[in-house]
Amino acid sequence: MSRGRHEQRVLETVGTPREVLERHGIPVRGKKARCPFHDDRHPSLNLYTNSRGCFRWCCYAGCGRGDALTLEARLSSRPIRDVLAAGPVEKVKP
């Protein structure tokens, strides 16, 4: 299965969930991070790739799951359509 057009647009607009987290100053270790949506003492937020090769995040504590777009929207308190309308974000500088 290849990635769909929506997934491609998400990648081009906000990048991967890992890039979104790092841009918001949330460190990712391996495939885990401390969830920014609840008081997380142990990393509950998991990054994974689904069966279609799409990048996803999931909080084991129940904050939700989704793609990089939903993550960016929640972290920046913007509607998804605003994130898409804003266009490609600057990539994290190495």
81 SS3 class: helix
* Residue in 9, 24, 29 with CA at minimum distance from that of residue 69: 9
Shortest separation between residue 63's beta carbon and Zn ion, angstroms: 3
Which one-letter DSSP state was computed for residue 86? H
Binding of Zn ion at residue 52 (CB under 5 A)? no
One-letter amino acid at 83 equals: V
**3 or 64, CB closer to Zn ion?**
64
x/- binding map, residues 26-45, to Zn ion, per CB under 5 A? ---------x-xx-------
Binding of Zn ion at residue 58 (CB under 5 A)? no
The sign of the CA dihedral 42, 40, 22, 27 is negative
Q: Which stretch binds Zn ion (CB under 5 A): 1-9, 19-27, 59-67, 80-88?
A: 59-67
Binding of Zn ion at residue 59 (CB under 5 A)? yes
